[in-house]
A = this chain, B = another copy of it.
Amino acid sequence: MRVAVVGTDHGHIIEITRTLAKAGAEIAVIVPTEDAIGPWLASKNPDAKVASSLDEALDLGVDLVATAAIPGDRAEIGLTAMRAGVDVVTDKPGATSLEQLDALRAAHAETGRNYTVVFSERLGNPAMVTAQRLVDEGRIGTVVHAVGLGPHTLNLANRPQWFFDPSRYGGILVDIGSHQVDQFLAFTGSTDGEVVSSAIRPHAEHAGVEVLGEMLLGSDRATGYARVDYLTPAGLGAWGDVRFTAVGTAGYVEARYVDQTVFVVDGDRKETIECQDHAVTWAADLLVGRPLDQEHVFTVTRICLEAQAGARRRDPIPLSV
């Protein structure tokens, strides 16, 4: 499978590219869309051609376009790729408006191409992969609740312009909250969900930077809560102490990102599982024809967009940086 990497604005493209290559894909083309990540990625993939546009990349003959362009630009890349008969792998979020989502849905339906959004906090996180396996095996019974906490480092000095403009990144509940919506649906086995309540708090000195977002979610079988923020302090030594907890009728499971552990408790015992060496399989699954459930991808996207659009805008958070 020949892959064109088109859009390198978010560092997630490094992990996406690496994971695809490790699964056996050929990184055939790279289209850098900024000055740092793209050129570096090209230097690490010397066999890949460097191209200057999506069209040029498609002309070189590829099977899949992978993108971590500016979030607002990803849908157009995905649409063009699918219409050219090519599968798509995009960093989350894949869309920043309902119009983009509708167009992506339509293009997927028309072309039959795979459209994958890499919800990396679940799909690329060995602790979460392990936690989900335990849940799928029935270890904690029927899941009735989920809490996802997604703190991130603010790091304003190194953020690109688009980080300051919600019209380009989609708002915090779309940009990073999409992870938690994905987790809620996946762990509760819900095929649909609703936003019960949502809110955001912007940065006091940068109105376009949303520092905290939260949402209460519901489905026909479970409820869930998610908070995302840019309040990770430097002392953590990691970008975010991401936690996910699923509570079931027969136990619960907690996945921790920072130390890659899963803590699971059932009717008989409690157990801490070290997951550092556990496999991440989304790319390998994709390459053998088991893509992420397509309806799930679109449903997650819709819920995030609804959460963001309906969010109560609360007082700015006073931050000195």
Contacts and interface: CB of A to CB of B under 8 A. Distances in A.
A134 interface: no
A36 interface: no
A194 to B, nearest CB: 11
Contacts of A250: 233
A318 interface: yes
A9 to B, nearest CB: 28
Interface string A217-259: 0101101010101010111110001000101111110000000
In terms of DSSP, what is the predominant structure of the interface of chain A? strand
Given A197-B196, A235-B265, A145 B229 contact: yes
Size class of the contact patch on chain A: 35 or more
A220 B265 CA distance: 37
Nearest to A320: B249
A59 interface: no
A216 B218 contact: no
Contacts of A214: 145, 216, 223, 225
A14 interface: no
Contacts of A288: none
Interface of A: 140, 142, 144-145, 147, 149, 151, 196-197, 199, 201, 212, 214, 216, 218, 220-221, 223, 225, 227, 229, 231, 233-237, 241, 245, 247-252, 265-270, 312, 314-315, 317-319
